[in-house]
Chains A and B, each alone.
Chain A
């Protein structure tokens, strides 16, 4: 996996007007890279029938 760099993360945060301290940037970079490493394998999962539905629209309805 190619990791995000701190400068890349800082640039993205600036584009979104999210203030970050230098220490924030370091830790946020580690957190983001952890996310990407953990979530990337999901792309290879068999997705047939897997709706990205968070919850029943009707809460009384069973799944």
Chain B
């Protein structure tokens, strides 16, 4: 057993990068680390429901092997001995992969998703499978595997669809997690759970072994307590994969080395429609304006940009994404409708009945929105905006029946207009905490960059994070 005397009781809230360094330096035992997370999961996850499946025995066995490898002086991977968890949308060999649905409750894959295999190959230890909205679609009313809850206030939403990925990182239930972001599903839980979450450039990370939603939008991405942890995880999961022919053939940069904190002279564009629009909560707006002030104080060149089509992005995105989902789910919708959560089923039914001509218009709108975003990025290094229009809402507010078309528009389109523009354009976007509401809920800054400029996006996020202390705060749970 390795010595761990230099580590204090905050072990589970250390960043993955810091934990990995302690493991390599023999200051931290992988067995102690995994045991600490398992104990904490046992103590509090009954309330949070971040996990669907906990791989306790296999994780401890892997931790013991990791410890033996250290003792034998073997070469160690970058993530050696570090427990990670993944959204239950990623296939894991021998471990059930449910996609958050009763329909796949007994689905046990015989192969790891590429991103899981890469983290494991780097020495990471799979701790478990994380809760999500059913089939990553959003709008789940009654989660089949328990209602995920926000660690900052358990009556409030975690954000989705990677609900458990955000909650587990925020609550100290894993070192780092993976989610999947089709239209905001990494950034939304990162925002509402007060952690960092990165949507990589589309095509940078393999989707092989990820249960699909929308082929032109799906993107696996990391969540961590620090931007550095996201950078570390991204380095490990990114890169060409012959089993996903849509992955870019570019080599993967050293994203950690790019975290220089230097943003002097960087041109930052504040998206007016999202930051100062009528839908944006005043506390969220104030926090983002404050964050922009920090970037300005660090030497960034800040100006405002207007993207007039961005308020339409949410509806366009849902038309595209949900209609693809409806096509995928058509057989089950016909044969097993009652096995879907009612919210999921109604989303798919509505999308399945959308006129094709309107879906085509949504695709064309995508081209226009993308052009507006890219034109702004041609004269700015990054764009910034709130990640969400408000802090995490009460869970109860999302479970009441829809009683009007106005209510449907507000509940589904509005918040998606904040995260979907980057998704529609295929560009990277990072969410970082930038404050708390008066009621103690996290607020979040979104940083958007050019295609394959993930390093720049992460550098700006890291610089802001290190100039503030929001990322050091922990929920009281």
Which residues of A pack against B, CB within 8 Å?
3, 9, 12-13, 16-20, 23-24, 26-28, 30-43, 45, 47, 49-56, 59-60, 62-63
Contact = CB atoms under 8 A, between A and B. Distances in A.
Nearest to B362: A39
B352 A42 contact: no
Interface string B348-360: 0110111100101
A28 B346 contact: yes
- Interface residue tally on B, bucketed by range: 35 or more
A35 B354 CA distance: 8
Given A31-B405, A35-B358, 18 more contacts: A19-B337, A20-B337, A24-B346, A26-B401, A27-B346, A37-B409, A38-B312, A38-B315, A38-B413, A42-B312, A42-B364, A45-B368, A49-B367, A50-B368, A51-B364, A53-B363, A54-B215, A55-B202
Interface of B: 202-203, 215-217, 246-250, 309, 312, 314-316, 318-320, 333-334, 337, 342, 345-347, 349-350, 352-355, 358, 360-368, 370-371, 374, 401-409, 412-413, 425-426, 451-452
Contact of B349 (A28, A37, A56): A28
Contacts of A41: 312
B319 A35 contact: yes
Contact of A62 (B316, B366, B451): B451
Nearest to A20: B349
27 contacts: A9-B353, A16-B352, A23-B342, A27-B402, A30-B402, A30-B403, A30-B407, A31-B350, A33-B408, A34-B405, A34-B409, A34-B413, A35-B319, A38-B314, A39-B316, A39-B358, A39-B362, A42-B312, A42-B361, A42-B365, A47-B364, A52-B367, A54-B366, A55-B216, A59-B203, A60-B249, A62-B452
Contacts of A26: 401
A34 B354 CA distance: 11
A35 B408 CA distance: 9
A27 B349 CA distance: 10
B358 A36 contact: yes
A13 B248 contact: no
B334 A28 contact: no
A45 B360 CA distance: 13
Contacts of A24: 342, 345-346, 349
A48 B417 CA distance: 23
B347 to A, nearest CB: 7
Main secondary structure of the interface of B (DSSP, over half): helix
Given A19-B334, A30-B408, A35-B358, A59 B246 contact: yes
Contacts of B349: 13, 18, 20, 24, 28
Contacts of A36: 355, 358
Contacts of B364: 42, 45, 47, 50-52
A60 B405 contact: no
A36 to B, nearest CB: 7
A31 B139 CA distance: 12
B316 A3 contact: no
Contact of A52 (B314, B337, B363, B405): B363
Contacts of A18: 333-334, 337, 349, 352-353
B368 A55 contact: no
Contacts of B406: 34
B449 to A, nearest CB: 13
B202 A59 contact: yes
A37 B407 CA distance: 12
Contacts of B319: 35, 39
B353 A13 contact: yes
Given A59-B202, A62-B451, A28 B246 contact: no
B312 A60 contact: no
Contacts of B355: 36
B405 A30 contact: yes
Of A40, A47, A63, the most chain B CB neighbours within 10 A belong to A63
Contacts of A28: 346, 349-350, 353
A42 B198 CA distance: 30
Contacts of B215: 54
Contacts of A32: 350, 353-354
Contact of A30 (B202, B365, B404, B426): B404
B468 to A, nearest CB: 33
Contacts of A23: 342, 401
A52 B380 CA distance: 26
Contacts of B452: 62
Contact of A33 (B202, B318, B401, B405): B405
A31 B347 contact: yes
A63 B412 CA distance: 29
A50 B405 contact: no
A31 B408 contact: yes
Of B346, B403, B406, the most chain A CB neighbours within 10 A belong to B346
